Chains A and B, each alone.
Chain A
């Protein structure tokens, strides 16, 4: 089990005057389960993923992996423990090639890089030698990012809006790839707004305003989110009522 206890995050250190992007996050994630993390833009999903990956150090609170405190571990140390995070917006690298990244991810075993590329719909012959610079299209870069995580094969996997920029025809394939590669010894978390992804997971976590508003079994939570939570989340907006924008529902 991976658990977060009272985790907060305020960029640039402590809380004197700083805005908290994550407020008192308590979360338990079990091996063998797939989770969807959803919620409005700016709600704190990517920030939470980065805190779990060890990219952002929590301002307070603890992170425990199978009871062991890993709060102080950096991203590379967590990678060694089996954490992996597919970025929402993968960075570009001048001069590095797709094959370089796959080799790093698969710990210098380039053979393991070809299969994920193929699975994600990129022909290795065509893409292995491509540079990871701005010349890759948005969707290509996103696919390479997912292939990289597949090559890394972590046991705690977070995909940050994997479907963003992926064309409609490839979307089903992507969903299937993520579902098929899930294992009883893995935790899979998918940050998404897509109903198709929601149908895939065991549990849904709704985060808005840096707080977990709702968490539970998919079949119980999803109808609630669709029906009411959107408005509840909007309720929290300090400007409510001052603008004459109608509720979209």
Chain B
């Protein structure tokens, strides 16, 4: 049922070499193609909307894959996924979208996720975006993820886009209740004439709620990036945003931070930096024998690697 192209896309975005052993729903060219539930993890079709409902029972551990692939030109696919992680459950959720656009028309996927992480649950959410195709048609991805992180729950978001997406508007929202923690790690590379905008809004609702956001990006050629980070504390929460961009060639990067406290005991920090690759780094690697191009690739590869700013729950 899956051809070589499908398999390549699935491997790129979800690191899948075969069908996953856990629960999954794979969507291709605007339709759900294959699905499997697992004990305690139920996946059903959305009511009146394209997309799925994923319900994880309390205390269940497991993995859920819900990748989306698009292999046609001129397709606009919009999905609404509702995901509920039951109290005390521990789930790795692998989403992501890969577009192969062979033709001249725009192909686009808007993935709208609503995620509830019930109290004490742990969610590891991974979302990778990838585009390819020789045609001139644009590849557009507009994900929106809204999360509610209940009391003492933990959510870790790993968002990655490194190749082939012409235009993206990514919206990530989270509300964090008392004792909850959200760790977000975003990595973005744009080149050519690509555009990427990432908007993040985290509301620390409860006391002792925490958020840590690390955003690393590289803008090459004539690409453009915009980051809007808004961190709001209603409760006695703590939040830290670290937004770091490497800018090259004729690229442009805008970073618009907002920290907003409604509570005198909240602590919010925003750090943002945009700069070219440090000359000393290049010179160090070149004096170890790398060409300038190899040195740049090494620095960028490290900067965007998962090790960068290791997070812990």
Cβ-defined partner of B288 (8 Å) among A93, A97, A152: A152
Q: 8 Å CB contacts to B: which residues of A146-192?
A: 148, 152
B128 to chain A, nearest CB (A): 17
Contact of B307 among A55, A76, A87, A97 (CB under 8 A): A97
Q: How far is the CB of B127 from chain A (nearest CB, A)?
A: 20
State how many angstroms separate the Cβ of B267 from the closest Cβ of chain A. 21
Between A and B, 21 residue pairs with Cβ closer than 8 Å are: A53-B287, A75-B283, A76-B287, A76-B289, A76-B292, A76-B295, A78-B287, A85-B287, A93-B281, A93-B303, A94-B244, A94-B303, A95-B216, A95-B301, A95-B302, A96-B302, A104-B285, A104-B290, A131-B307, A131-B308, A148-B288
* B280–A75 CB distance below 8 A: no
- B21 beta carbon closer than 8 Å to chain A: no
Nearest chain A residue, comparing its CB with the CB of B187:
A95
A91 close to chain B: CB less than 8 A:
yes
Contact A91 B281 (CB under 8 A): yes
Interface residues of B, CB < 8 Å — how many? Answer: 27
Binding site for B on A (CB under 8 A): 53-55, 74-76, 78-80, 83-85, 87, 90-91, 93-97, 100-101, 104-105, 107, 131, 148, 152
Q: How far is the CA of A77 from the CA of B303 in the complex (A)?
A: 25
Closest to B278 in A: A91
Give the complex CA separation of A54 and B307 in angstroms.
32
> Could you say which residues of chain A place their CB within 8 Å of the CB of B303?
93-95
> Nearest chain A CB to B160's CB is how many angstroms away?
13
Tell me the smallest distance from the CB of B298 to a CB of chain A, in Å: 7
B288-A104 in contact (CB<8A): yes
Closest to B284 in A: A91
Q: Does B226 contact A (CB under 8 A)?
A: no
- Is B75 engaged at the interface, CB distance under 8 Å to the other chain? no
Within 8 A of A (CB), among B279-313: 280-281, 283-292, 295, 298-299, 301-305, 307-310
